[in-house]
């Protein structure tokens, strides 16, 4: 069977006009080829679709049924074309994003996601909270389209776009002696004298390594007295007087009673936030649109 979409369109035109001459004019073809195409269609479906004589054209019962199906087929084709076009523009589809626990506290990231959600409500966004190193494998396999993470060593297949540089700060409880440096900033070497609340290594992998490097480079051996897996837990322990902590600026958006933040005075310490993607996989249009928005809002 070699029925083509043009056969359906020709048939619909004749069925609606009930006149071969008017249908041919509407289709911008001559009448004899139109009659031949309808005859060919009837031969292929093995049913008479139109009754015709010198005066009238009418639909047979089979023709009535075929007309309804033809409408439905062309409607489905039009819908498929529209969906494909919208997929190509990034207006439809699915998007899988990896993010670290501090990502929701980065104002420009959340603003970008909100803008994207409002602009493209029909894109299904799947958010997966993972630490930096946990995002590597799913980015390689394609389970994640993009990842928002801290700077780390990436395999050859992955590349990144720098989104922002966040300064490190010291989180202390209210009344802590280091608050005397709240205006001037605190010397990192003074942290050696105080117990530290720290990320668990397996949870905050990138931050754990960055903060450790920051302290050891300054000659500070940290006195880690508490470890926690969640940012809110760390700040809760600081508030409870269990120690101080080194955090990034995004933590300051978490309003915890009794927690104060102090800048460093003698170092320019920052943590880089990366947008990571797989260079060996075609980035879906929806993901490309979001990455462009993130870069515009955070870098531009």
In tens, the pLDDT along 67-110 reads 999 999 999 999 899 888 888 777 788 899 999 888 888 888 99
What are residue 146's phi and psi, to 5 degrees? -140, 160
Domain 5-89: state its class: mainly alpha
134 alpha-carbon distance from chain centroid? 17
* Total Cβ atoms within 10 A of residue 296: 12
Across 145-158, average pLDDT? 94
The mean-pLDDT minimum among 28-42, 89-103, 163-177 falls in 89-103
Whether residue 203 contacts residue 279, with contact meaning beta carbons closer than 8 Å, is answered with no
Rounded-to-integer distance, Cα 97 and Cα 114, Å: 14
Confidence of residue 31 (pLDDT cuts 50, 70, 90): very high
The residue ranges of every structural domain in the chain are 5-89, 94-299
Whether residue 196 contacts residue 245, with contact meaning beta carbons closer than 8 Å, is answered with yes
Confidence of residue 204 (pLDDT cuts 50, 70, 90): low
Q: What are the tokens at 3?
A: 């029925």
Confidence of residue 139 (pLDDT cuts 50, 70, 90): very high
**In the prediction, which pLDDT does 56 show?**
86
**In the prediction, which pLDDT does 1 show?**
60
**In the prediction, which pLDDT does 183 show?**
94
**In the prediction, which pLDDT does 11 show?**
94
Rounded-to-integer distance, Cα 134 and Cα 200, Å: 14
Rounded-to-integer distance, Cα 153 and Cα 211, Å: 16
Condensed to tens digits (0 to 9), the pLDDT of residues 212-253 reads: 889 999 999 988 999 887 788 899 999 999 999 999 998 888
Rounded-to-integer distance, Cα 243 and Cα 227, Å: 10
Q: Which fold has domain 94-299?
A: D-Maltodextrin-Binding Protein; domain 2 (3.40.190)
Confidence of residue 201 (pLDDT cuts 50, 70, 90): confident
The pTM assigned to this predicted structure is 0.74
pLDDT higher for 86 or 182?
A: 182
């Amino acid at each position: 069977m070699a029925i083509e979409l043009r056969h359906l369109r020709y048939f619909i035109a004749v069925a609606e006009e009930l006149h071969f001459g008017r249908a041919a004019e509407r289709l911008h073809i001559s009448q004899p080829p139109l009659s031949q195409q309808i005859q060919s269609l009837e031969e292929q479906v093995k049913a008479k679709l139109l009754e015709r004589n010198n005066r009238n054209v009418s639909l047979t019962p089979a023709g009535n049924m075929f007309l309804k199906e033809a409408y439905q087929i062309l409607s489905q084709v039009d819908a498929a074309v529209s969906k494909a076009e919208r997929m190509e523009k990034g207006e439809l589809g699915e998007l899988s994003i990896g993010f670290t626990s501090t990502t929701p506290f980065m104002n420009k990231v959340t603003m970008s996601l909100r803008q994207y959600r409002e602009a493209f409500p029909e894109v299904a966004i799947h958010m997966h909270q993972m630490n930096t190193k946990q995002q590597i494998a799913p980015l390689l396999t394609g389970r994640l389209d993009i990842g928002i993470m801290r700077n780390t060593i990436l395999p050859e297949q992955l590349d990144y776009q720098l989104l922002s540089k966040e300064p490190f700060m010291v989180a202390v409880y209210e009344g802590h002696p280091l608050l005397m440096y709240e205006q001037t900033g605190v010397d990192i070497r003074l942290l050696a004298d105080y117990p530290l609340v720290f990320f668990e290594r397996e949870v905050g992998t990138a931050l754990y390594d960055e903060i450790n490097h920051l302290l050891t480079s300054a000659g500070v051996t940290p006195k880690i007295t508490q470890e926690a897996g969640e940012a809110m837990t760390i700040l809760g322990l600081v508030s409870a007087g269990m120690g101080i902590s080194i955090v990034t600026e995004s933590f300051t958006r978490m309003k915890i009673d009794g927690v104060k933040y102090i800048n460093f005075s003698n170092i320019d310490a920052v943590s880089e936030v990366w947008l990571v993607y797989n260079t060996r996989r075609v980035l879906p249009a929806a993901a490309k649109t979001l990455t462009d928005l993130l870069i515009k809002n955070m870098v531009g």
